[in-house]
Amino acid sequence: MTSSPAAATDGGARALAQRFVAEFGSAPEGAWAAPGRVNLIGEHTDYNEGLALPLGIRQRVLVLARRRHDRRLRLLSLESGQQELALSDIGPGRISGWAAYVAGAAWAAIEDGASATGLDLLIDSDVPMGAGLSSSAALECASLVAMAELWSLPRSRLELARLAQRAEVEVAGVPCGLMDQLASMCAQEGHALAIDFRSLSVEPVPLPLARAGLGLLVIDTRSPHQLAEGAYAERQAACHAAARALGLPSLRDANPGSLARLDPARPELVRRARHVVSENERVTQSLVVLRAAATDATRLAELGPLLSASHASLRDDFEVTVPRLDVAAEAAESAGALGARMVGGGFGGSVLALVPAERAAEVSSAVTAAYVERGWEAPRGFEALPGAGARRVL
């Protein structure tokens, strides 16, 4: 994991303020943070008006900012380098690389009516990149909460999440639903978020991991996923085609019975739809478990089989796993995890395992051993702790 301890504390933000002065000549007006996320369960449901249970993690992107008198954005990322651009140069298809997420946030805010000024921005992140933990959504969300404040754009969390999603889809050109941005904007310490992507309601639900003696182990498989964007768009299209074939507004309205009406000559469409329908059901069941765990934390262990069933469905029906994800999930379970599943879009990224706290190290070593045995680069593991959503920290 590329971990920058500076980003992990608000003391870190103060230290970065010194760096800001050194780089830009005077103090920042503030510092804003937004977390990466892991999704407990509910994968590839967001763009089907379905259900999901993500949580913000402690790893986060920090953005320190100060307004400028011109209309230029000067960006300095401690991880990715430097870029300077004019606000008038930003637009769909015009910026690439990491800067597109920040510039895209600015573009979306301006499209929404912000009175933009130029900005100096210093960016630091300890969210592992390319690990399926939404480092890009965290960057968009941290940038947007900073811009919303500095550019006097009073917007709700949901509205800001939608602007962040526009940045990703329209300016960075990466297809996605709303889950990552909504999770980063709305996360609450110690909670998962029960999100309904039809009503767009977001309800924080306590996740009493410590009381249950459990931990969430994130295993970053460090596997490349270059083909992910095309495959993601293809999955979205298949889901929308399945809903259309059923005459439904979205797969949210489908049930196991209605799936029988899909043309058996299109088995792939049937499998895609079956994943979405069964995943929504698993989220509903997980929510029942979380509610029961509020009074009896030991009930949290019941999430394990639901996580494993989600992985099997993503592997067999939605077909977005790769061998490194499958091997990590299987090795984690064999070593004592109560359940494990891939998180995020798939084709690489991370696996989330629910583990008895005392077995976390053992599970982690077992996954590493399984990788080494196959001649693969060792994965990186860390414990996910449910952290706070996007906010001002200085």
Site for ligand GLA in 330-349 (CB under 6 A): 344-345
Which is closer to ligand GLA, CB of 191 or CB of 275? 275
161 binds ligand GLA (CB under 6 A): no
- Provide the token pair at 36: 């990466």
Q: Is residue 249 within 8 Å of 222, Cβ to Cβ? A: no
Report the nearest approach of ligand GLA to the CB of residue 50 (Å): 9
* 261-309-383 Cα angle (round to 5): 140
Q: Which stretch binds ligand GLA (CB under 6 A): 5-13, 42-50, 191-199, 361-369?
A: 42-50
Q: Which of 46, 49, 330, 333: binder of ligand GLA (CB under 6 A)? A: 46
Rounded alpha-carbon distances, angstroms, from residue 320 to 30, 44, 102, 158: 40, 10, 28, 28
Which is closer to ligand GLA, CB of 29 or CB of 326? 326
Size of the site for ligand GLA (CB under 6 A): 10
317 binds ligand GLA (CB under 6 A): no
Site for ligand GLA in 169-228 (CB under 6 A): 176-177, 179-180
Report the nearest approach of ligand GLA to the CB of residue 343 (Å): 8
Report the nearest approach of ligand GLA to the CB of residue 182 (Å): 9
Sheet strands (E) in the chain: 30-39, 51-52, 54-67, 72-77, 81-86, 119-125, 191-196, 201-206, 214-220, 339-343, 350-356, 380-384, 391-392
Report the nearest approach of ligand GLA to the CB of residue 350 (Å): 11
Report the nearest approach of ligand GLA to the CB of residue 62 (Å): 21
Q: Which amino acid makes up residue 24?
A: F
54 binds ligand GLA (CB under 6 A): no
Q: Which stretch binds ligand GLA (CB under 6 A): 44-52, 56-64, 190-198, 364-372?
A: 44-52
Q: Is residue 394 within 8 Å of 14, Cβ to Cβ? A: yes
Which is closer to ligand GLA, CB of 40 or CB of 363? 40
- Provide the token pair at 242: 């399945």
Report the nearest approach of ligand GLA to the CB of residue 179 (Å): 4
Find the catalytic residue in 46, 180, 220, 317: 180
Q: Is residue 390 within 8 Å of 127, Cβ to Cβ? A: no
Residue 317 falls in the annotated catalytic set: no
DSSP string, 89-158: G--TTS--STHHHHHHHHHHHHHTT-----EEEEEEE-SPTTSSS-HHHHHHHHHHHHHHHHTT----HH
- List helix spans (H) across 123-253: 135-150, 157-166, 179-186, 209-212, 228-246
For residue 317, give the DSSP letter. T
Q: Which of 20, 31, 44, 141: binder of ligand GLA (CB under 6 A)? A: 44
Q: Is residue 335 within 8 Å of 363, Cβ to Cβ? A: yes
List residues near ligand GLA by CB under 6 A.
43-44, 46-47, 176-177, 179-180, 344-345
Residues taking part in catalysis: 180
